[in-house]
Amino acid sequence: MPDDTPLRLGELLIARGAIDDDGLTRALELQRSSQGDRLGAILIRLGLISEFTLLECLSAQLGFAVFAGDDLADAAPLIKQEHLQRQISRALAQRFSFALLPRKDSRPLLICRDPLDSGLREYLTTRQQFESVPECCLIAQRDFERLLAEVYRESTQGSGNQDLRRMAEDAPVVELVNGVLARANDKGASDVHIEPLEFGFTVRYRVDGQLQATEHYPRERFDAVVSRIKLISGLDISERRMTQDGRFSSRAAGIETDVRVSVIPAIFGESIVMRLLPMSQNKRFSLDGLGFEPDHLALFQSWMDLPDGIILVTGPTGSGKSTTLYAALSACDRERERILTVEDPVEYKIDGVTQFQVNSDIGFTFTAALRSILRHDPDTIMIGEIRDVDTARIAVQASLTGHRVLSTLHTNDSATAFLRLVDLGVEQFLVGATLRGVIAQRLVRKLCTHCSTPLDVRMLLPAHARASLQRLGIPEEQWHFRQAVGCSHCSDTGYRGRMAIYEMLSATERVRAALSKPSPSHMDLLAAIDADFRYLHEDGLLKAVRGQTSLEEVFAVGGSAISAQGH
Ligand SMILES: [Zn+2]
């Protein structure tokens, strides 16, 4: 909605003789000093109009119907169903003062107190993915409160709250949950999965990107364990039908860990994933040791040396993009530069960097947050992810006005990132003018140095790998491939830790020229690539040839990239 919305409401009321100029001026003044209160609410608070007048005015002038209190009892169960399906919590409905009433053969009817609320509009079009704001009708405050009370009335099924709470405090349950967290810590797990089965439940740990070590527990313990985890992460114990997200801190072996908890109802009960983010002070991000080869590191540095421009990191979820971005930010001169980030979620805190957490529930979206931080005079900004044209445009605008912009994008390879920005709706010449370079990356597991053994691949190596090695200029004498074996140091997996493999595409003259064609294709960009460019799997081969990772790892993660290039 445009910013002149309050004025329009004010003018409406004046036109109807409900208020005078004086009253409007007073209300607008008060609105400026308030924190985002709506004009209507302020006018009511000042006693200048009644809520009835406001509703009547909006209804007559804008054509909105008013939801009658008499329809409330019939509507509540339908709304309850709709809100359950759409995961609309009471807090959210309250925050934006709205409800969605399903209708046959058309989109749900929006019942709300303020149809002009930009936060509500943004929530509906982005989070609920309505193409536009649905048809709406107004509701008076008192009726809305009654409606919410009805829609979110506690269900009386299942065990009572008190029982759940008592079970969650039971010593064996507390021990079980603490034990799981301690083992996760020992293993260096990034996630813990707790999954209900028909006759029991399992706990699994994700280590180096792979789920391992399944523990089985009897079903009787399940409700108590779920309640325990909900209790410590500040979630609603009684809510068992909707997804919930929470967090808590745990301290084990002197390491403080931030644990993000996500609870999702599944057929046999609630499924839980805990993401472990160690807050250890030793966690230092550095571009060294991530897996950058010296030439790639120098190229990255040359992009970062420029005062403006966009640098994108691409790859699927879990490919280490955030770590690369954090390392890049850590490499900036944090004393002299103002570095701001907008993230969802903030995964790690970095000294000397001001980080903002997106919160769409209260309208602090990526776009809203970015618009605000650009007014905070940054040198470098990091945008957690470019997901839509609005974010992309802001990134371009920020770059054009002299800022360095780092962000991530969901594409498979580096060339596609250039085209994706165009697909999103950014003008081609602006992409060429602002994008400095794209990094595509994946993670591969590092071979355990205690047990890996040499591997003679001369007879086995696939033709495309052989061709790549030739292109990279690595003769057979320098092939030192190794293979995974397994020992006590690596829990018999043969691997320990991970490293990234990279593909880096600079926006060179030739790439920009390819981008300025009428409708550039992936092939056009690939044709413009320099001779020393390394594809993702080629960078992986460099690591495999030195015995740092195995060929299996490189082929597994580079698979899609290899086929995409038709090798
Ligand atoms: Zn080993």
3 state DSSP class of 269: strand
Asked if 176 and 194 touch (Cβ cutoff 8 Å), the reply is no
The one-character DSSP state at 37 is: -
Selected residue with higher pLDDT from 209 and 312: 312
CA proximity to 344, closest of 358, 363, 365: 358
CA 197 to centroid of ligand 1, rounded, Å: 32
Strands 255-266 and 380-383: unpaired
CA 223 to centroid of ligand 1, rounded, Å: 38
Please report, for the chain, how many H helices and E strands are present, in that order.
22, 19
Is the pLDDT assigned to residue 442 strictly greater than 90? Answer: yes
Structure tokens that stand for 267 in this block: 């057929």
Residue-wise pLDDT tens digits, 414-434: 999 999 999 999 999 999 999
CA proximity to 139, closest of 165, 177, 101: 101
The one-character DSSP state at 127 is: I
CA 187 to centroid of ligand 1, rounded, Å: 14
What pLDDT is recorded for position 1?
39
CA 448 to centroid of ligand 1, rounded, Å: 4
List C-alpha distances in Å: 475 to 460, 467, 480, 545.
16, 11, 11, 10
CA 288 to centroid of ligand 1, rounded, Å: 24
Distance between CA atoms of 261 and 247, rounded to whole angstroms? 5
CA 296 to centroid of ligand 1, rounded, Å: 29
The one-character DSSP state at 517 is: S
CA 489 to centroid of ligand 1, rounded, Å: 5
CA proximity to 505, closest of 303, 309, 320, 327: 303
Distance between CA atoms of 48 and 411, rounded to whole angstroms? 55
CA 449 to centroid of ligand 1, rounded, Å: 6
CA 446 to centroid of ligand 1, rounded, Å: 10
The segment with the largest mean pLDDT, out of 45-59, 113-127, 552-566, is: 113-127
What pLDDT is recorded for position 405?
97
Q: How far is CA 558 from the centre of its chain?
A: 24
What pLDDT is recorded for position 280?
56
Residue-wise pLDDT tens digits, 10-21: 887 888 778 888
CA 540 to centroid of ligand 1, rounded, Å: 21
3 state DSSP class of 564: helix
CA 457 to centroid of ligand 1, rounded, Å: 21
CA 237 to centroid of ligand 1, rounded, Å: 42
What pLDDT is recorded for position 551?
94
CA 450 to centroid of ligand 1, rounded, Å: 5
CA 495 to centroid of ligand 1, rounded, Å: 6
CA 552 to centroid of ligand 1, rounded, Å: 16
The segment with the largest mean pLDDT, out of 22-26, 108-112, 347-351, 436-440, is: 436-440
CA 558 to centroid of ligand 1, rounded, Å: 24
Selected residue with higher pLDDT from 112 and 40: 112
CA 59 to centroid of ligand 1, rounded, Å: 72
Q: How confident is the model at residue 157 (pLDDT cuts 50, 70, 90)?
A: very low
CA 443 to centroid of ligand 1, rounded, Å: 19
Structure tokens that stand for 188 in this block: 């260096």
Radius of gyration of the chain (CA): 28
Q: How confident is the model at residue 130 (pLDDT cuts 50, 70, 90)?
A: confident
Structure tokens that stand for 256 in this block: 């403080």
386 CB burial (10 A radius; 0-12, 13-18, 19+): buried
Asked if 192 and 184 touch (Cβ cutoff 8 Å), the reply is yes
CA 490 to centroid of ligand 1, rounded, Å: 4
CA 256 to centroid of ligand 1, rounded, Å: 28
CA 255 to centroid of ligand 1, rounded, Å: 25
Residue-wise pLDDT tens digits, 508-524: 999 999 988 888 899 99
CA proximity to 242, closest of 263, 273, 225: 263
CA 275 to centroid of ligand 1, rounded, Å: 26
CA 546 to centroid of ligand 1, rounded, Å: 17
Is the pLDDT assigned to residue 357 strictly greater than 50? Answer: yes
Selected residue with higher pLDDT from 404 and 258: 404
CA 559 to centroid of ligand 1, rounded, Å: 25
Is the pLDDT assigned to residue 144 strictly greater than 90? Answer: no
The answer to whether the predicted template modeling score (pTM) of the entire model surpasses 0.75 is no
Asked if 371 and 347 touch (Cβ cutoff 8 Å), the reply is no
Q: How confident is the model at residue 4 (pLDDT cuts 50, 70, 90)?
A: very low
Quote the percentage of the chain above a pLDDT of 70: 94
The backbone torsions φ and ψ at residue 510, rounded to the nearest 5 degrees and listed phi first, read -65, -40
CA 488 to centroid of ligand 1, rounded, Å: 6
Residue-wise pLDDT tens digits, 199-227: 889 999 998 888 887 899 988 889 999 99
Is the pLDDT assigned to residue 563 strictly greater than 60? Answer: no
Is the pLDDT assigned to residue 365 strictly greater than 50? Answer: yes
Q: Quickly tell me which residue has 């607008």 as its tokens.
A: 28
Window from 85-99, 148-162, 231-245, 549-563 with minimum mean pLDDT = 148-162
List C-alpha distances in Å: 498 to 150, 209, 290, 320, 411.
52, 8, 9, 10, 21
CA 496 to centroid of ligand 1, rounded, Å: 7
Asked if 439 and 314 touch (Cβ cutoff 8 Å), the reply is yes
Q: Average pLDDT over the chain, rounded to whole?
A: 86
Residue-wise pLDDT tens digits, 159-187: 567 788 888 888 888 889 988 998 898 88
Window from 81-95, 126-140, 154-168 with minimum mean pLDDT = 154-168
Window from 156-160, 172-176, 262-266 with minimum mean pLDDT = 156-160
Selected residue with higher pLDDT from 522 and 141: 522
What mean pLDDT is predicted for residues 99-110? 89
CA 497 to centroid of ligand 1, rounded, Å: 11
